[in-house]
Structure 1
Amino acid sequence: MCADRQHLDEREDPAAPASPLVRYALAGLRRCWMPEAGRWSHKYHLDGRAVPNESRPHSDIYYSINVLLGLARVRGALAAEPYDVPSLLRSLCTAMPKHPMRNGAPGMALWAAAALGLDVPAVAADTLRPLAADVDALSGWTAQDLGLTLSGAVAQLRYDRTWMPLAAGLRDLLLARFKGPGALFRDSGKGPRHAIASFATQVYATLALYQFSEATGDAAALAAANACVAKLLALQGPHGEWPWFYDPRRQTVLDRYEVYSVHQHGMAPAILHHANDHGLPGARAAIERGFAWIFGNNEMGISMLVPSLQLIYRSQARRGFHGHRMARLLRLALPASVAHGGHPPIGGLRLTEEMRSYEFGWLLWAFGDRTDYPALTHHLAFAAGVPRPAPAAA
């Protein structure tokens, strides 16, 4: 039985002790929680400012739904946390139409609701069901949004087969319009981003295809997901890092930086667990190498954890580039001989001194209920970052 199918059928044992990784993540999420807003924050600044949580309502909502998805893996530990999860999901879905949300947000809401065993959010369902009538119109979406929507539809069709037309149409569109000439997926089905491929694109596309295949038995979806992950494994960096951008036509690394912690500890493992379940060689080793990057086996030679706050530095990035969109596009436009595939950055690297709450959502989704990676889930770096549980009363 594959990973997602098992997790949906079997609840976590409430009596099982949470791993140090889970306790670290839950403690970090409490820091990102904004009780006055009833959401987790868009960003937690790690530069020592007096008010570290930064709120951007549309992002808070989307990230908070991502966190709820991760919390579905640790339902036994939620009794000790200050969240009313069913009410929280309802309030987040109610707030979505009031803000400029990304196209994939309703899909993530459907996915989270199914994973948590909650009722189908009406706002999300009413937004997505009509799309089945003309799936081709979604070609201009990003692969991330399309993949999230497919993941949400698949999560629901496990219980309600009327979601199959949307799920099947999205699967067809991903394979027909978003897949490059090789194994990698393009960022968009048309437009300027049709020529590039981010790591996140590969994750959302392959994860959705794995889920679709496991729910329906579709061989083509499984083959495409396995082929993409096999190519990613071949392009994993020398320190276990997952490059940021690829050329989907040549199937090469276009730009290695930034290297994001969430890719290392959560998003890559999320697809590699499926790949390992389906017998893809090297998937488990890649998870372990990628996670070791978090613990300090990286180009900067430092741990990405912030144990005093139970948080994680967001990324390692080039000095001189601070996330400006034009700077990113300029780098991607440079010839491959100048740009950055496998070469150390001129000027060195810097830490991105922030963390975003959704990163813990992915960490918990990937490892929250797993017992087969004790070297990661019980690593001393996590154990040192959270207080020990109080002894039971005599």
Structure 2
Amino acid sequence: MTTDRLGALAAADQPLHALAERLLAVAEAGLPGMYLPGSDTFVFTRAGTAAPDGSWHLEQRGTSTRYAAITALGARFLPEDRQRTVLGGHTAEEFTGLLVQRLPAVRNLGDAALIAWAAAETGHPKLSDALERVAALDEPGRPQYTVEAAWVLSALAAARGTVDVESRLTAARDRLLRARIGNSPLFPHATGPGLVPWYRSHVACFADQTYPLQALARAHASGADPEALAASEACATRICALQGDGGQWWWHYDARRAGVVEGYPVYSVHQHAMAPTALFDLADAGGTDFAASIRSGLRWMTEVPELTRSAEAGAVPEPLILDELGVTWRKVYRGDPKKAVRAARGLTTRVVPAARLTPLDRVFRPASVDRECRPYEFGWMLFAWLGGAQR
């Protein structure tokens, strides 16, 4: 399995290339077990519980339309026979067709946008119908969550060569650019007031950065848009500057002042998939190549300094990649009750942006592992490492 992205990684760092190949194998091994053949969709999550003898029990929980669409977006890069293995016997186009058929019942804008994006990427004949459903859910002038607004733009950019979407694309692009606060290069959690309580309206998450920077880069790649590219570049530059010494992509940011509010949890999907796919798409669009930051983030998956520091002398830290189970554990977190550290820092930085409340770091060390794995994590992983210039 070789793509330009994997090839470049092999040239730069052979051990990391082996890690990426290993992770892709884990994704392909794990996704079939997350598929629910009776309903032709994917679970929301698989949760792992360790038995006294060291064996694991994986419990399937819930279902997710958006995770199914993201999985289709990534699986389409696999050879057809392997697409069918991952997608319950369907190709990515066939599986996307099942999702398109369900669109009349979809009420969430993000879910609809992801299905439309998959329809555009797989060349589905009912792409126009999918986009109409997105338009019906995207009420003009109504604030939206930034992640979902970004997925709308990515769907429209992907459809641009097939359907006339210019007016809608311009509106979606402008909405993201206007959402930024002052001169900050980072994006807030919502595109306008009303969706987030005032006391934490300045707090945005990592996904609020990667999806807009990806969407704006793709908008530029689909039709020259230097302003969109510059915004994507500025966001990427800032989150890479804030990246942790151990390669961590931090979780909560101050969208006003472009700093970190609270770093934890650190999510595996950010390290191996979401940061790479956004930064790769930026480079493909003609922006800066942040390959060194991508490699640093990927390296965290096996080094995990938080767990290494917390291990007792001579003990082996818990691994986040379990090849035999086909999972990567979801995150490393503090284990603080009711996410107390995030709440305290969110409230404090509203008034004092530079406040760190450092005693909290000593009391609630990030040494807990969330033993869950969700299908979208593998969908974006396939998208990140198998996509790119080969398209």
TM-score of the two chains, using structure 2 as the length reference:
0.80
Is 1:262 matched with 2:284?
A: no
The farther-off stretch of 268-277 and 258-267 is 268-277
CA–CA distance in 2 between the matches of 1:64 and 1:164? Answer: 27
Q: Does the aligned pair in 2 maintain the 1:70–1:364 contact within 8 Å?
A: yes
Is 1:311 matched with 2:327?
A: yes
SS in 2 for 1:236: coil
Within 5 Å, give how 1:357-372 maps onto structure 2: 357-369=375-387
CA–CA distance in 1 between the matches of 2:286 and 2:97? Answer: 38
Q: Does the aligned pair in 2 maintain the 1:90–1:121 contact within 8 Å?
A: no
In the other structure, the counterpart of 1:392 is: none
SS in 2 for 1:185: coil
SS in 2 for 1:365: helix
Q: Does the aligned pair in 1 maintain the 2:261–2:345 contact within 8 Å?
A: no
Assess, with a 3 A threshold, how the Cα gap between structure 1 residues 369 and 175 changes in structure 2: closer, same or farther: closer
Q: Does the aligned pair in 2 maintain the 1:73–1:364 contact within 8 Å?
A: yes
Within 5 Å, give how 1:39-78 maps onto structure 2: 39-48=41-50, 52-56=59-63, 60-76=64-80, 77-78=82-83
Within 5 Å, give how 1:150-189 maps onto structure 2: 150-160=153-163, 162-188=164-190, 189=192
Query: Which of 134, 153, 156 lines up with 1:128 in the alignment?
Result: 134
Look up the equivalent residue of 1:245 and give its one-letter code: H
Q: How far 1:91 sits from its partner (Å)?
A: 2.6
Look up the equivalent residue of 1:307 and give its one-letter code: D
Q: How far 1:212 sits from its partner (Å)?
A: 0.5
Q: Percent identity?
A: 27
SS in 1 for 2:124: coil
SS in 2 for 1:55: strand
Look up the equivalent residue of 2:45 and give its one-letter code: K
Q: How far 1:182 sits from its partner (Å)?
A: 1.5
Assess, with a 3 A threshold, how the Cα gap between structure 1 residues 110 and 41 changes in structure 2: closer, same or farther: same
CA–CA distance in 2 between the matches of 1:130 and 1:96? Answer: 11
CA–CA distance in 1 between the matches of 2:94 and 2:242? Answer: 42
Look up the equivalent residue of 1:108 and give its one-letter code: L
CA–CA distance in 2 between the matches of 1:127 and 1:146? Answer: 14
Partner deviation per Cα, 1:307-327 (whole Å, 9 max, x = no partner) = 121210000111234xx5787
Q: Does the aligned pair in 1 maintain the 2:221–2:285 contact within 8 Å?
A: no
Partner deviation per Cα, 1:87-133 (whole Å, 9 max, x = no partner) = 4323323334435x43211111111112223223465322234578x
Query: Which of 240, 256, 259 lines up with 1:252 in the alignment?
Result: 259
CA–CA distance in 2 between the matches of 1:22 and 1:239? Answer: 22
Partner deviation per Cα, 1:236-293 (whole Å, 9 max, x = no partner) = 0111011101111121100101111111111100111133346655600000000001
CA–CA distance in 2 between the matches of 1:256 and 1:211? Answer: 28
Look up the equivalent residue of 2:346 and give its one-letter code: L
Q: Which runs of 4+ in 1 moved over 4 A?
A: 48-51, 278-282, 324-328, 339-345, 369-372
Within 5 Å, give how 1:1-394 maps onto structure 2: 19-48=21-50, 52-56=59-63, 60-76=64-80, 77-81=82-86, 82-85=88-91, 86-98=93-105, 101-121=107-127, 124-129=130-135, 135=140, 137-138=141-142, 140-160=143-163, 162-188=164-190, 189-191=192-194, 192=197, 194-277=201-284, 283-301=290-308, 302=317, 303-321=319-337, 324=338, 328-335=342-349, 336-339=354-357, 346-369=364-387
Q: Does the aligned pair in 1 maintain the 2:97–2:119 contact within 8 Å?
A: no
Q: Does the aligned pair in 1 maintain the 2:229–2:287 contact within 8 Å?
A: no
Look up the equivalent residue of 1:61 and give its one-letter code: T
CA–CA distance in 2 between the matches of 1:289 and 1:242? Answer: 10
Q: How far 1:37 sits from its partner (Å)?
A: 2.1
SS in 2 for 1:36: coil
Q: How far 1:196 sits from its partner (Å)?
A: 1.8
Structure 1: any 5+ residue segments left out of the alignment?
5-17, 373-394
TM-score of the two chains, using structure 1 as the length reference:
0.79
Q: Does the aligned pair in 2 maintain the 1:254–1:340 contact within 8 Å?
A: no
Structure 2: any 5+ residue segments left out of the alignment?
6-19, 51-55, 309-316
Root-mean-square deviation (Å): 2.9
Alignment coverage as a number of residue pairs: 347
CA–CA distance in 1 between the matches of 2:226 and 2:125? Answer: 30
Assess, with a 3 A threshold, how the Cα gap between structure 1 residues 370 and 311 changes in structure 2: closer, same or farther: farther
